[in-house]
Structure 1
Amino acid sequence: MTETKRAAGPVDVVGRPGPLAFALNLFGIAVVAYSILTTHTGQRPLWVLVLALVALAAWLVRVILSFRRVAPTTRLALAMVMVFAGSIVAASTNGIGIVPVLVGVLAVVSDPSRPILVGLGVAFIGVALLTVGAVPFGTSVLVLLGLAGGIVVAVLAGISRRQFRESEAQAELLRERELTVREEKAQIDLLAQRQAVARDIHDVLAHSLGGLVIQLDAVEALLETGDLRAARSRVADARALAATGLGEARRAVDALRDPDARRDDIDRPGSFDDAIDDLLAAHRSLGGAVELTTTGTPRALDADQAAAFERALQEALSNARKHAPGEPVQALLAWSDDAVRLTVSNPLGEGPGPEPGMLARSGGRHGLEGMRERFAALPAGGRATAGVDGGRFIVTAETGLS
């Protein structure tokens, strides 16, 4: 954002004067003009009066244009007229003409949009013209030094104001950068949230709809054999599975509205164990066989870790039902002092097993990708892998413990 603004053209770093500053400038112009006009005598050449009024006119125009967006070169040109014209007649007007010179030098030196050498050069030329303009009128050295000292003071005051304006500009740039960083972080968080929702929706659909397909296939087979009692039992299981899937889908939607709601639900004592038991029971109700073994001393998991392991087990069981129906599933939850690992494996069954192409067509590719993303995003670090080893399809997920 900041770089785009700079590329558009010169930056007008000099802000509009406030009402008090505007009034003081007009008052100063009026006082200087009155003093020059009332003290001008026939002993002074006409060009002295003309140059003094030119310097004042440039001052007035510059003040008026400060309320409009004008090119920085216009501001610089008006300030140079003030300095050069005023310097030549400063000594011949009893020092009154030095006022627009001081204002002009202060304005040029304090402008951060131009190099400091520009302001110093204008001040140096002003001192030179001051000396040249004083020679025809026999101005004393002391008076000349006093007028030159005024220009030096204006230079110092301009440097001080310049530093203040530069610090303000840096502070504004820092605020813009912080705003840009916050906007980028918000976009990253939104993308991460969308990915998390996509993972949740995939897991819910893969588990619930996949289970419904299995149940309905079983119902169809039982109806063909005339076993109505078993068919009704399967329909009841399908209804319960659909209700469970609908509840999970609602929780995923609720997490969009209030992410802490899901976190609080997972953080409840015993909720992780209950969720694991429900997944195992659901797999058995769909005709699958699964055995869970736990080793080590279980420890508390945070909400993200618990959700990641739940989804990993859910994905592994869903893949086993799709690609190795009827094969027994072995699950191992191994706890150690600094890590916990979940390993889920099943025989490949008939055929070559779940090749990558088949996983992609069945939606397994997204589930495994989502599982890897979940564990990679855990604060304590983690990883998830899936592949064939020794005639078994093995899903492994692990993370560290604090």
Structure 2
Amino acid sequence: MISLQGISPEGTMPKRTRPLLPDTIAPSWLVVQLFGTLFVAATLLTAREVQPGIWAVYGVSAACWAGFVATAHWRPVTAAVLLAASSVLPAAALGWAQDSSAILLSVISVGRFATLTGLSVAAIVSVTVLDMVLALASTALAGGRMLDAFGNAGIMLLLGLLGLNRRQYEIQAIQTGRLLEQTRLAQAEQARAAALDERTRLARELHDVLAHSLGALSVQLELAEALAEKSDLDGVRNAVQRSRRLANAGLVEAREAVAALRRDVLPLPDALAELAAAHTRDHQVPVDFGTSGQPRPLPSAVTVSLAGVSREALTNAGKHAPGQPLTIRLAYGKGIVRLAVTNPSSSDTSAPVGGGFGLTGMRERLALAGGSLTSGQCDGQWRVVAEVPG
């Protein structure tokens, strides 16, 4: 029994992928089928056979070949059986044939049979050996020359080996195509994941920048409203001017946020000092900033992460503990950098409320840099502490 491997349950041939060198004229399988059909037709037209029985064998063999050509891409199992029969029948009649037509028909079919990628090697070898045995047996039974019989068997073996070599090339081409397709899909997934990760980072950057600017802007507008009720025109004018500066600064920061991870950033102490000074200027509250340990260069991801955490903590303090002084401490330890932002708070009012990125965004920011974030009430102080390796 012919064992079929690699044929799908639906009975379709394995999907062929584009070969390493593209076919410039026609698909390779079509060229093989066409030339094989021409050789079969030429063999029948030039045959000098007088025995009706042998002609019947030739006719059935040619019909099996035609059936194989017609069904190769639609019914591969049936096509393989027809092709095997197309090679076996002339081999069985080889001893009684009066010319070389029988061996030609057999080797054409066995050579094509050996190239089928949907068959196992065992099935191909079995049919090739069967053809050789039938050629030897028919010659012996017909009383022919055994030297010619072994020569014909050798030709069959040679065509079978050449077919197997071609089959191996096609299998490698199919496997290479599949590997390239898998690689392309993996690269597409990696690109998609990178794009999603970039969007998430940009969303956090934009939130941190806009929440800081818009939070301070909201405070200034509320102050302007309160001063307007008291008819303090100078105070209203100053508050509106500060609001305008905050709005302009927010626009600039929003434009810069997209490129934040692609450009050089300030050293972390300088970035934190600027944030502290800006918060003092915008909210009219003191911010005490200090460092300890030996400052050292940090990766951009760590600098951007800690600066973002500080910005978010200052924004939350301005919202939930307005008017309270703040303290920012940056400590350089052995293999770790610690940032602490604290402000007086008698209750849990400094905690941000609602959804959004907030503390979640800060934790995600720190996680990207391999760090952690803790926040909560401690000894009458609301503390936000970030630690990052560095």
TM-score, normalised by the number of residues in structure 2: 0.85
1: CA distance, partners of 2:277 / 2:219: 15
Task: Answer yes or no: is the 8 Å Cα contact 1:331–1:345 preserved in 2.
Answer: yes
- Residue 23 of structure 1: CA displacement? 6.1
2: CA distance, partners of 1:53 / 1:228: 111
Cα deviation digits, residues 149-180 of structure 1 (max 9, x gap): 22222332233223222222221121111111
1:258 maps to which residue?
A: none
1: CA distance, partners of 2:309 / 2:13: 56
1:86 aligns with 2:97: no
| Counterpart selection for 1:167 from 165, 172, 189 | 172
- Residue 197 of structure 1: CA displacement? 2.1
1: CA distance, partners of 2:136 / 2:81: 22
| Counterpart selection for 2:304 from 293, 297, 307 | 307
Task: Answer yes or no: is the 8 Å Cα contact 2:111–2:162 preserved in 1.
Answer: yes
Cα deviation digits, residues 40-86 of structure 1 (max 9, x gap): 23xxx3110121233234335545766xx432124313312311222
- Residue 279 of structure 1: CA displacement? 1.6
Task: Answer yes or no: is the 8 Å Cα contact 1:83–1:102 preserved in 2.
Answer: yes
| Counterpart selection for 1:146 from 142, 147, 151 | 151
1: CA distance, partners of 2:322 / 2:204: 24
SS at match of 1:299: coil
1:399 aligns with 2:388: yes
1:386 maps to which residue?
A: 375
What pairs with 1:214-233 in structure 2 (closer than 5 Å)?
Answer: 214-233=219-238
1:158 maps to which residue?
A: 163
Task: Answer yes or no: is the 8 Å Cα contact 1:108–1:118 preserved in 2.
Answer: no
What pairs with 1:57-72 in structure 2 (closer than 5 Å)?
Answer: 57-60=63-66, 62-63=68-69, 69-72=73-76
How has the CA–CA distance of structure 1 residues 233 and 172 changed in structure 2, closer, same or farther, with 3 Å as cutoff? Answer: same
1:50 aligns with 2:56: yes
By percentage of residues, which structure has more helix?
Answer: 1
2: CA distance, partners of 1:126 / 1:27: 22
How has the CA–CA distance of structure 1 residues 6 and 225 changed in structure 2, closer, same or farther, with 3 Å as cutoff? Answer: farther
Task: Answer yes or no: is the 8 Å Cα contact 1:210–1:318 preserved in 2.
Answer: yes
- Residue 311 of structure 1: CA displacement? 0.9
Cα deviation digits, residues 69-108 of structure 1 (max 9, x gap): 4321243133123112221222333443122322322333
How has the CA–CA distance of structure 1 residues 151 and 400 changed in structure 2, closer, same or farther, with 3 Å as cutoff? Answer: same
1:344 aligns with 2:347: no
**What are the ranges of 5 or more consecutive residues in structure 1 without an aligned counterpart?**
256-260
2: CA distance, partners of 1:17 / 1:62: 16
2:49 maps to which residue?
A: 40
How has the CA–CA distance of structure 1 residues 218 and 13 changed in structure 2, closer, same or farther, with 3 Å as cutoff? Answer: closer
| Counterpart selection for 1:377 from 325, 345, 368 | 368
Task: Answer yes or no: is the 8 Å Cα contact 2:344–2:380 preserved in 1.
Answer: yes
Match of 1:183, as an amino acid? A
**What are the ranges of 5 or more consecutive residues in structure 2 without an aligned counterpart?**
1-6, 18-26
Task: Answer yes or no: is the 8 Å Cα contact 2:33–2:69 preserved in 1.
Answer: yes
Cα deviation digits, residues 317-338 of structure 1 (max 9, x gap): 0111122222221111112453
How has the CA–CA distance of structure 1 residues 182 and 28 changed in structure 2, closer, same or farther, with 3 Å as cutoff? Answer: same
Task: Answer yes or no: is the 8 Å Cα contact 2:306–2:386 preserved in 1.
Answer: yes
1: CA distance, partners of 2:207 / 2:160: 70
Task: Answer yes or no: is the 8 Å Cα contact 2:267–2:297 preserved in 1.
Answer: no
TM-score, normalised by the number of residues in structure 1: 0.83
| Counterpart selection for 1:126 from 131, 134, 143 | 131
Task: Answer yes or no: is the 8 Å Cα contact 1:375–1:384 preserved in 2.
Answer: yes
Match of 1:130, as an amino acid? A
SS at match of 2:330: strand
2: CA distance, partners of 1:105 / 1:288: 93
> Could you say which structure has the greater relative contact order, defined with CA pairs below 8 angstroms and 6 or more residues apart?
2
1:292 maps to which residue?
A: 289
% identical equivalent positions: 29
